[in-house]
Amino acid sequence: MDSKPTQKVYLVVGGCGFLGRYMVEALLNRGEKNVRVFDLRKTFDNEGVQFTTGDITNLDNVINACKGVDVVIHTASPTVHDQKYDFFFKVNVQGTQNVIDACQKCGVKQLIYTSSASVIFSGDDIRNADETTPYCKTYFDPYNLTKKLAEERVLAANGNAGVMTCSIRPSGIFGPRDVQGWPGFMSNAKGKILNRWSKSIIQIGDGSNLFDWTYVENIVHAHLLASDKLVSGSPIGGQAYFITNGEPTPFWDMANYVYKNFGYPETSLKLPYGLMYVFSVVVMYIALILSPIVKLNPTFTPMRICNSGATKTFSIEKAKKDFGYKPLISLEEGKRRTLEYFKEERSKGRF
């Protein structure tokens, strides 16, 4: 990171998570002396960090963590797997409102929120979308809906009680210690989906759909650049920003990179995108109808089909203009680093 250290006290909410831990490490690496973490549990040790454990859905816990803090970077969010709306609403929306309230009560000056590029994604192709693109009218999944609701609250709070706010919308985060993207590809390759019957790795669509991946350290870089510029009178307050690597690539290229380097066959069974989408909707309604009798967790949900079969690319021009964002790590270098990490993990029997 090229930012200079400050005398501010930083709190990373969700600092033990995938993105949050990178945020903590970046702050320490640039020389920050006052770094704190708030999370459900402590998962790593660092003598340069003050840890507070607690629940984001408990306002008193959040207030306790925010006392004496200048900058809050809110990265906490549940993983996007098989949870219901009420759970996501409690954590993403009510939890974020607790962070806002705590910041206002404790005199925090800056709040940077980690949102999602998918707050504008309803399943249709998105090509080089910028921040003027409106939110969706309808959402397929509770995660993106609740991220949108939380982002709205963060941006609306800008300037209230002296707290400046902004929102960072990353797309397709990946990197070492990733717990969703690359592990998901490897799980698929090992035969946990339909390929256990077909003996082929499945691809949704013809593979031409583009996607914006973002290496984790570039997302961290964007957060810190924004936090350094988020002062009274700056154009950042109350604004949202898409963050990507700026290198759109076919979605399935990343999956095939994983498969190839771990000795799996590349995708060979290509299922039509439209057909799979209709199939996923039918399965979703069957699961809903049967839910009073049996709990089903369909693998092929409409949102998962859309995520892997639709084009999703975003403009980063606004972030470049307002706070000088430029990716530090290229897509190829990010893939190389991630591959090196997962190969080491695999040698230990973890994947």
* Per-residue confidence (pLDDT) for residue 233, from 0 to 100: 85
pLDDT category, 306, cuts 50, 70, 90?
confident
Is pLDDT larger for residue 203 or for residue 32?
A: 32
* Per-residue confidence (pLDDT) for residue 194, from 0 to 100: 45
* Per-residue confidence (pLDDT) for residue 337, from 0 to 100: 98
Is the predicted pLDDT of residue 192 greater than 50, yes or no?
Answer: no
pLDDT category, 237, cuts 50, 70, 90?
very high
Q: What is the percent of the chain where pLDDT is above 90? A: 69
Half-sphere CA count of 84, side-chain side, radius 13 A:
5
pLDDT category, 83, cuts 50, 70, 90?
low
Is pLDDT larger for residue 5 or for residue 20?
A: 20
CB 311 within 8 A of CB 211: yes
- What's the pLDDT tens digit per position in 155-189? 999 999 999 999 999 999 999 999 988 988 888 77
3-state secondary structure of 313: strand
pLDDT category, 132, cuts 50, 70, 90?
very high
- What's the pLDDT tens digit per position in 34-77? 999 999 999 999 999 999 999 999 999 999 999 999 999 999 99
pLDDT category, 2, cuts 50, 70, 90?
low
- What's the pLDDT tens digit per position in 320-350? 999 999 999 999 999 999 999 999 998 888 7
- What's the pLDDT tens digit per position in 217-228? 999 999 999 999
Short-list 179, 145, 157, CA closest to 17:
179
Helix 95-106 vs helix 59-66: angle between axes, to the nearest 10 degrees? 40
CA distance 180 to 186: 10
- The residues that bridge with 219 in the sheet, in sequence order, are none
pLDDT category, 82, cuts 50, 70, 90?
low
CA distance 218 to 214: 7
How many C-beta neighbours within 10 Å does residue 336 have?
A: 14
CA distance 274 to 279: 9
**Domains of the chain from N-terminus onward:** 10-178+211-248+312-332 (3.40.50.720), 181-206+252-306 (no CATH)
CA distance 98 to 126: 32
Mean pLDDT of 116-142: 93
Q: What is the percent of the chain where pLDDT is above 70? A: 95
Average pLDDT of the chain?
A: 91
* Per-residue confidence (pLDDT) for residue 158, from 0 to 100: 97
Is pLDDT larger for residue 347 or for residue 80?
A: 347
- The residues that bridge with 211 in the sheet, in sequence order, are 249, 312
Is the predicted pLDDT of residue 91 greater than 50, yes or no?
Answer: yes
pTM here is: 0.93
Active site members: 143
* Per-residue confidence (pLDDT) for residue 65, from 0 to 100: 98
